[in-house]
Structures are given as structure tokens and as C-alpha cells.
Amino acid sequence: MTIQEKFTDILERKNAAAIRSGRQPEDVTLLAVTKTHGADEINQAIAAGATDIGENRVQELVEKYDKVSPVRWHLIGHLQTNKVKNIIDKVVMIHSVDSMKLAREINKRAEAAGLVMDILIEINSAMEETKSGIAAGDLKELVTEIVSECAAIRVRGLMCIPPLAITPEDARPYFREARELFEEMKTWDLPEERFMPDVLSMGMSGDFEVAIEEGSTIVRVGSSIFGPRNYR
Ligand SMILES: *Cc1c(COP(=O)(O)O)cnc(C)c1O
């Protein structure tokens, strides 16, 4: 299958899963994850209808940015504070905020660029030591601090990555836990211009349909669209 065909296939499965779980196709965004793939391949996905592209490394995003047709870019991987300035005017959303230090830097750079950056807080549901993300129990404190200090940030919700190498059904409890946390967030009384929790980013190639059934609003799909990654 070509990239166009694979993209269309995933889009249809994404839409079917949304309808199956009582939502509209447009309520769930398909984010095409393009790490290790070149601008040509990304442009093929855009030609097939991709509106949102996810990269997990700043350098790759910056290298491809000018070679790719206009599209909404998302930063989904771990972000070092010294790299924030390189992407602040290029992305519409940062999915991987997990510290006040990073939030402060994003705020500073967004303010200087005259914009408000939409962010998600990355939840580490399995509490794996090697992974980024914060514990569920630390979420409210971090969000409250960001909202009170950072005028150039709007907190839009959560990103969750379940442990690797498990089956889609094994991932379901992690998705459900993230969904519960997300629903709890919606009850927090924080100013709307800085806090609008309406995005739940979860689900990848192997498990995006289960994630949608559990309430995902953005699925991040890479290898099912672009094939295996070519790490150099
Ligand atoms: C690579 C990556 C994805 C996509 O993974 P696939 O299994 O290839 O679909 C999703 N989210 C993040 C954070 C990633 O780094």
C-alpha cells in the first residue's frame, strides 16, 4: 500500500472507532507521526488529507518544517528547555509538558513571540522510571502552578503513553485511568483563558482504536501510516 492508501485506511478506522463509541469522526483527530520519515513522505500524507503532523524531536521538526506543505505541527516527544525557542512559533501544541521548569520556558518564549501556546501534561500512568511524564497524584499541583504563573500558556488536557510491548487490551486500563483523570480535571475551577481541558492525546498504531473507545480525542499514529522507522 502507498502512504496515501495507508493514511486513508487509518483515517477510516479512526472514524469508525469514533462512531462506535458514540462520537463524531471530527471529535477525534488523527495525528500523523513522522519521526525518521522525510518531507516527501509527509507531503504524501498531507495530500491524502493529513491536517496534523507530530514529531518527537525538535531538530527533525525544524529540518523538515520548510519542506513540508502548510500543516499543523505538534511536538509530542520529550522537550529540553534549551530547545523550546526553536519550535515555539512552529507548533500548535506541545503534548509532553511534565515540569514547571519546562512550562516556565515555554511561557517565556511564547510571551516573547506574542502568542499563547496550547500544552498537554504528560501523564506517566505506569510510573516507569525511564519514561518522562508525571504521576497522576502530582497533576493538580503542576496545573495549578502553571495556570497561576504562565499567562502565555493554555493547558488543554493530557497525553498518556501506556507501557510498551503490551497488547491493545492490556493498554485499556491505562487509557481508562487517563480518561478518569481528564474528567476530573474538567471539574477544576481555574480561569478559562488559561485552562480549557478538551484534549486527551492517547493511542498509537497498535492501540488507537481501544484508546478512542476509552475517550481519546487525538490519536498519534506513525508506523501504520509510514511503515517501520529508519533510525540513522
Ligand atoms: C513514535 C510515537 C508515536 C507513534 O508510534 P507508532 O507506534 O509508530 O504509531 C506516538 N506517540 C509518541 C509520543 C511517539 O514518540
In the structure, what pLDDT confidence band is assigned to residue 90 with cuts at 50, 70 and 90? very high
With 70 as the cut, is the pLDDT of residue 228 above it? yes
Could you give the domains of the chain?
3-224 (3.20.20.10)
- Supply the DSSP string of 158-172, one letter for each residue: EEE-PPSS--HHHHH
- DSSP annotation of 91 reads E
Ligand 1 atom with least separation from CA of 204: 9
Average pLDDT over the chain reads 95
With 70 as the cut, is the pLDDT of residue 231 above it? no
Q: What spacing in Å lies between the alpha carbon of 113 and ligand 1's midpoint?
A: 29
Of the residues 33, 60, 201, which should be mutated to test ligand 1's pocket, given the most ligand atoms within 8 Å of the CB? 33
Supply 151's cell numbers.
Answer: 499567562
Summarised one tens digit per residue, pLDDT across range 187-225 is 999 999 999 999 999 999 999 999 999 999 999 999 999
Summarised one tens digit per residue, pLDDT across range 45-74 is 999 999 999 999 999 999 999 999 999 999
Q: What spacing in Å lies between the alpha carbon of 107 and ligand 1's midpoint?
A: 26
The alpha-helical segments, DSSP class H, found in 21-130 are: 39-47, 58-65, 84-87, 100-113
Which three-class secondary structure state does DSSP give residue 103?
helix
Summarised one tens digit per residue, pLDDT across range 127-168 is 666 568 999 999 999 999 999 999 999 999 999 998 876 789
Pocket of ligand 1 (CB under 6 A): 33, 35, 56, 76-77, 161, 204-206, 220-224
